[in-house]
Amino acid sequence: MDFRPLAYETACVPNLLPILRRLRAVPTGAVAMCALSLAACDAVKGKLYPEVVDRGWQSDSTLLAASPAVLMRVVRSKEGARAVPLATIDGTGVHTLSLTPRGWRALDVQMLHEGRRFVPYRGSEPLGTIVSRRGMWEGPTLDSLPGCSQMLPAAAVSVPDGVELLTSGSTALPGRSSGLANGELERVLSVVSTLVAPSAGVPMSKMSRYRRTVQVVGTGATASPTIVVTYSDPQELPAGASRMAERPRQLVLVLDKGAYGYRPSLTLADVSSARLAPRRRFLGALDTNGDGRAELFFGLGENIERGELATFSYRFSGDAWIADWEYRRTRCMG
């Protein structure tokens, strides 16, 4: 037999009504003692029968109630473009989103549903806002993966070419000018091709094999724009190749202006003495923490399996870019 009192019962005071009827006849001190007894009783009852609280949802709802700005990646497939939320951004930087299933559905309603606005960025330049066509669970589930029971939500969107990053809402992050003086870019690239790239492992005799892409972005790292140069050779590394002896098949050079002109401030290669790294692609430069200096964002190559959301950011410190934040999850959460 279960002798526990029901939740609305007071186990310490079995017959409270007669006491209440005689309150006028009880001295003030006794009334105070009775009140203390009732408070103690409530405390005991709280220990015996604690209220069931969904701590995960409590945390999620607190976060969403603050309406944080959210960083999103653009993922393209034959089904169309998707805006996938990765992290919140505020004055302290980028913070990976980790929600319960209930929290993700609430975020879908709050930020991804039809009519929600996002700011797209090309390089470091904010463009005109775009509008969500529908959210993840607005009607039939938007996307699915074989064997995946819980998908990271996304919004169906149409985005301009060259856009890889979005932020939620209609307020753009601060941007900076990316203009260079006439002829300066050509002079910098000439030095890169003849001196910098060969010293980083791309021999002059093989230079014709590489496809070079150049992006100039305003970052605020220095008074001049940042230049991102990527050399890509379509030939993959042969199986079992000695990394020390191999030239990189991809080389990413980030250059910033110093006292004596532009110089490398970050070098990323797909080969090194320690590891064989997947190829990277430049996504954009966003000032996510509002300190006046944008962070550089890179993703993995488009053909790397399950790597469509992998994101890496770098911040400028001293005279170089250093690793700041990374995201390695996939859209399948379970």
Percent of the chain with pLDDT over 90: 70
pLDDT at residue 239 in the model: 64
- Pair 20, 139 in one domain: no
- 320 domain-assigned: yes
- 208 domain-assigned: yes
pLDDT tier, 7 (very low <50, low <70, confident <90, very high otherwise): very low
pLDDT digits (tens, 9 = 90+) for 45-70: 556 556 566 788 899 999 999 999 99
Q: Is the pLDDT of residue 240 over 60?
A: yes
pLDDT at residue 6 in the model: 43
- 278 domain-assigned: yes
- Pair 204, 156 in one domain: no
- 288 domain-assigned: yes
- Pair 218, 148 in one domain: no
- Pair 16, 81 in one domain: no
- Determine the average pLDDT of the residues in 25-45: 58
Beta strands in the chain (DSSP E): 69-77, 80-90, 93-96, 117-122, 125-126, 130-131, 155-157, 165-168, 211-217, 226-232, 250-258, 261-269, 280-286, 295-300, 311-317, 320-327
**284 CB burial (10 A radius; 0-12, 13-18, 19+):** buried
How many domains does the chain divide into?
3
- 138 domain-assigned: yes
Cα separation of 199 and 189, whole Å?
A: 14
- 128 domain-assigned: yes
- Pair 87, 160 in one domain: yes
- Pair 78, 37 in one domain: no
- Pair 209, 285 in one domain: yes
The residue among 126 and 6 whose pLDDT is bigger is 126
**Domain limit, last residue, from 134, 168, 202:** 168
What is the pTM for the complete model shown? Answer: 0.83
- 298 domain-assigned: yes
- Determine the average pLDDT of the residues in 40-48: 62
Q: Bridge-partner residues for 286, per DSSP? A: 295
Domain holding 279, by residue range, is 184-327
- Pair 193, 315 in one domain: yes
- Pair 198, 302 in one domain: yes
Q: Is the pLDDT of residue 258 over 90?
A: yes
Sorted by sequence, the CB contacts under 8 Å of residue 264 that are 6+ apart come out as 196, 200, 253, 254, 255
| Mean residue pLDDT across the chain | 86
- 178 domain-assigned: no
- Pair 27, 143 in one domain: no
- Pair 100, 214 in one domain: no
- Pair 24, 156 in one domain: no
pLDDT at residue 276 in the model: 77
